[in-house]
Chain A
C-alpha cells in the first residue's frame, strides 16, 4: 500500500528537483507518444530539445529562443505576483493584446514624425493598456465579488475581437492595398523595437524581461509587500491580521499581471511582429501560466522555465517541419510538462511511504 505522509515543513530539495523530474518524465511520456505516432522517439526529442541549440541552423534558432522567451518570462513574472496571493488572472492574453493596441495606436497616430520620446511613451501606454484591461476583473471582484478567473478569461475574447476590428478598421494601413493589418512599425524608426545585438534576438523586450525578473525577485522575496502577498496566498486571515487590505491586494495582483502582459504586447508589436493583425496574438498569455507554475512562481525559476518553454516552441516547430509531427502532438507535449509538474509537486509537501510500517 502507498501512503502519503504530510511533511511538517515543505521539502527544499524536492521543490527544486520536481521541475527537473517533470521535464524528464515529459521527455519519456512524450517519446512514447511520438513512438505511437510512428516517429522515432529519440530523434523527435533530439529535434525538439537539442537541434535548436546545437544543431545545424542553431545560430538562427538561438536568436529565436530569446524572442520567444522574452514575452513568456515578462508575462509570467507579473502573473506569479497574483498567483502567489491566490488571485487567478487567466486573461494575460487579453491584457497582452490591449498593451499592443494601446502602444500601436500611439505610434500610428504619430506616424511619420520621428521623436526620441515616442518609444518610451509607447512603453508607458503598453503597460497602461494591459493594466486597465486587468482592472476590469479587479474592480468587478472588489465591488461585486465576481470571479476574476471567469471575467479575465472572457475578456480575452473581447480583446481578440477588438484586435480584429482594429486590424480591419481604424488601424488598417491606408497604403496597404486593402490587405488587413496596420502599417509595419519595423519601417518606422522611432517606434521600432530593433535588435540590440545583431543576430541574438535580444531586443528591448528581452531586457525588460530580465529587469522584470530582478524586480519581482526584489519585490516578492526581499520586500515586505511581497511577504504580505505570500501570506495572503497561504492564510488569508493571517494576512488581514498582518494588515493586508484584500481589495488592494486584488488590484495589485491583477494590475501587475496586466501591466507586464501589456508591456510584452508592446515590445512584440513594435518588434518581432511589427504589425497589428488579427492573428497578432499566439498564446503567450496562456503559455505564461504554465511558465509561472513550472518556475515555482519564483522569478529565477520563471527565467529558466521561460527559456525551456521557448525551446519546446521552436523545437516543436522544427519537429513539425522536419518530422511531420502534428501540431496537436506538440501541444499535448507542452501540456504534459505542467501535468507532470503538478503531479510531482506532491513530493514537496508529502513523503511517500510504501507498504505498511510494521508496528
Chain B
C-alpha cells in the first residue's frame, strides 16, 4: 500500500456551479500535500467531502486501502481523518481542556485530559496551558487548541483549510515545525493555502484545481510562486503597479483616541494618534486581536469616540455614526465577512444596499430602488470579478474569497475619500489578492486616502507608503515603508505572544 488517500472522479454540484468535477488525486502516508486553486475553485468543497461534511454526487474515495464514504464527520474521524477549519469553533468562556473535551466523543476525566494535552502539546512544540481561558489566547494559540484537539485522535490524515491566514510569521514557523514533525511520523497532511511561498517551503506535492477540475499536479518546490499562481489562474499574472502618487492635505486625523474593549476578552485602544493625507496608503501591521477590530469600529463609526478624537477634512466627526461618516466620504470594510460586512442570508443585491445608500442613488425618498441596487451589485460583481451565478445569490453561498472581493468592491466603487480596510485579502487567492491591492492603489492614485490593516507584512510593504504597528491597543509612530527592514518591523511589532516558550 503506497497511498493513504486515493480519490477518483469525485463530483459535487451546487445549483448553478459544479464545485468539483471529476476530481482525482492521491496522498501518500507522511506526505504534505497542497491543494491550490483560485477562490471558488472547489478546495473547501473537496476537503469537506473527505471529512464527511458534504456528500459527493459521484466518485469514489479510498482511505488506507479501504473504500471510504464517511456519512458524517464522526465517521471520518473514526477512520483517522482530522480537520482544522479556518474559522475556530471554540468557546471563549471555557478553558482549553474544556474546549478540547467538547470536541471528543468520549472525553476522559478532566485531570487526565489536561495531562494528555500538556504532553501532546509540548511533544509537538505547541505549548498550551490546559487551564487557560480560550478568550485570553491569541489567534495562534487558539489554533493550537484546534490542532491539539485533532492530534489527540491520532489521525492518519490531517486536513488544514487556510490555517495560516490568521497567524504571525513567527507563529507560522512554529506551525510548520509541528507539521514537519507530524509528517516525519507518518501523518499525511492536506494543506490549503493561498500563500504560495509557504506552500513551496512546506509541501512536497500539490494538486491544482481550476473551476472544480484538476488542472495540474506538481512538486511545488520545483516551481516558483509565480508559476504556481499562473497554473491556478491559467493565465499570466499581473504585478501590481504603483503609480506615482502626489500626497495632498491631511484628510483624516486621529488624536488621543482611547476606547474600552468591545468584548470581555478584547483589548482596549490606548491613546491612538495618526494622520493620513490624501493619496496616501497607511499600512497598520500587527497580530489580529490587538485592537484591529476596535480600530476599525471606531473609524467606521460603529463605536463613536470622545469628541475631538477623530476628524475628517478638519471637521470633528467623532460623534457620527456609520452613515453620517459614509455621507462625508469615510468608508470601511470590516474583516469578518459573514455577519458583519455582509448579511449571510441576504442576496448580493440586498448586501449592496447595506452600505451603499449614502453615496449611491439606491433610494428615492427613503424607498429602495431595487433596479438601481441590482445594477450596483452587478457592477461590483463585474468590476471585481466575483464568481457567482448572479446578484440574487445569498452571500453565504459565495466562496470566502469571492465574498471578500464583493465586500471590498462595494466600498471601493463608492469613491471614498478615506477607506479603512481590515485584512483586505484574507482568504483571497493570489490573483484576486493582487487585483484587490491594485484597486486600493488605484483608489489612492485618484486621491483617496487608504488605511490597510493587515497581518500580511508583504502585503503592507507592497501597497503602503507608511507603516505603523498596532500591538496591545497601542499604535506605534509611523515610518516610511521605503527602506524599512524586517528587523525594524519586528521591533515595531514588539514580538509575538508566547514566542519564547514556543521556541522549542
Judging by beta carbons under 8 Å apart, are A238 and B71 in contact? no
Does B346 sit at the interface, judged by CB under 8 A?
yes
Shortest distance between the CB of A179 and any CB in chain B (Å)? 51
Q: Mark A143-174, 1 if CB is under 8 A from B, else 0.
A: 00000000000000000000000000000000
Shortest distance between the CB of B332 and any CB in chain A (Å)? 8
Complexed CA–CA distance, A245 and B324 (Å): 12
Partner of A238, one of B301, B326, B340: B340
Complexed CA–CA distance, A29 and B377 (Å): 46
Does B322 sit at the interface, judged by CB under 8 A?
yes
Complexed CA–CA distance, A54 and B458 (Å): 76
Chain A contacts of B302 at CB under 8 A? Answer: 240-241
Query: Contacts A8-B396, A237-B340, A238-B343 hold; do A227 and B353 have CB atoms under 8 A apart?
Result: yes
Complexed CA–CA distance, A242 and B350 (Å): 12
Shortest distance between the CB of B341 and any CB in chain A (Å)? 7
Partner of B397, one of A8, A240, A353, A359: A8
Query: Contacts A8-B15, A8-B396, A234-B346 hold; do A241 and B340 have CB atoms under 8 A apart?
Result: yes
Chain B contacts of A222 at CB under 8 A? Answer: 367-368
Judging by beta carbons under 8 Å apart, are B396 and A235 in contact? no
Chain B contacts of A9 at CB under 8 A? Answer: 347, 392-394, 397
Complexed CA–CA distance, A223 and B323 (Å): 16
A238-268 residues with Cβ-Cβ distance < 8 A to B are 238, 240-243, 245
Does A224 sit at the interface, judged by CB under 8 A?
yes
Shortest distance between the CB of A149 and any CB in chain B (Å)? 23
Chain B contacts of A218 at CB under 8 A? Answer: 367
B94-116 residues with Cβ-Cβ distance < 8 A to A are none
B32-75 residues with Cβ-Cβ distance < 8 A to A are 55-57, 59-61, 68-69, 71
Chain B contacts of A359 at CB under 8 A? Answer: 55-56, 59-61, 68-69
Q: Mark A332-359, 1 if CB is under 8 A from B, else 0.
A: 0000000000000000000001001111
Does B300 sit at the interface, judged by CB under 8 A?
yes
Shortest distance between the CB of B313 and any CB in chain A (Å)? 20
Does A10 sit at the interface, judged by CB under 8 A?
yes
B317-368 residues with Cβ-Cβ distance < 8 A to A are 321-324, 326, 332, 334, 336, 339-347, 350, 353-355, 357, 363, 366-368
Query: Which A residue's beta carbon lies closest to that of B303?
Result: A240
Judging by beta carbons under 8 Å apart, are B71 and A224 in contact? no
Judging by beta carbons under 8 Å apart, are B346 and A231 in contact? yes
Judging by beta carbons under 8 Å apart, are A237 and B60 in contact? no
Chain B contacts of A282 at CB under 8 A? Answer: none
Judging by beta carbons under 8 Å apart, are B394 and A241 in contact? no
Query: Contacts A225-B366, A235-B343, A235-B344 hold; do A241 and B397 have CB atoms under 8 A apart?
Result: no
Interface size on A, residues (CB 8 A): 26
Judging by beta carbons under 8 Å apart, are B59 and A10 in contact? no
Query: Which B residue's beta carbon lies closest to that of A231?
Result: B343
Chain B contacts of A234 at CB under 8 A? Answer: 343-346
Query: Which A residue's beta carbon lies closest to that of B321?
Result: A243
Does A322 sit at the interface, judged by CB under 8 A?
no
Query: Contacts A224-B357, A234-B346 hold; do A241 and B322 have CB atoms under 8 A apart?
Result: yes
Chain B contacts of A241 at CB under 8 A? Answer: 300, 302, 322, 332, 334, 340-341, 354-355
Shortest distance between the CB of A31 and any CB in chain B (Å)? 36
Judging by beta carbons under 8 Å apart, are B342 and A238 in contact? yes
Chain B contacts of A230 at CB under 8 A? Answer: 346
Partner of A227, one of B60, B326, B350: B350
Shortest distance between the CB of B436 and any CB in chain A (Å)? 19
Partner of A223, one of B55, B326, B366: B366
Does A1 sit at the interface, judged by CB under 8 A?
yes
Most buried by A among B345, B366, B393: B345
Chain B contacts of A10 at CB under 8 A? Answer: 345, 394
Partner of B55, one of A235, A242, A243, A357: A357
B237-296 residues with Cβ-Cβ distance < 8 A to A are none
Q: Mark B364-397, 1 if CB is under 8 A from A, else 0.
A: 0011100000000000000000000000111011
Query: Which A residue's beta carbon lies closest to that of B397?
Result: A8
Complexed CA–CA distance, A245 and B302 (Å): 9
Measured CB to CB, the residues of A under 8 A from B are 1, 8-10, 218, 222-225, 227, 230-231, 234-235, 237-238, 240-243, 245, 353, 356-359
Query: Please, could you name 9 A-B residue pairs with CB atoms under 8 Å apart, sorted by A?
Result: A223-B366, A224-B363, A241-B300, A241-B302, A241-B355, A242-B355, A353-B55, A358-B69, A359-B59
Closest 4 CB pairs of A and B: A359-B69, A8-B397, A243-B323, A9-B394
Known contacts A227-B368, A234-B346, A235-B344; 13 further A-B pairs (Cβ under 8 A): A8-B14, A8-B393, A8-B397, A9-B397, A10-B394, A224-B353, A235-B345, A243-B321, A245-B321, A356-B71, A357-B56, A359-B56, A359-B61
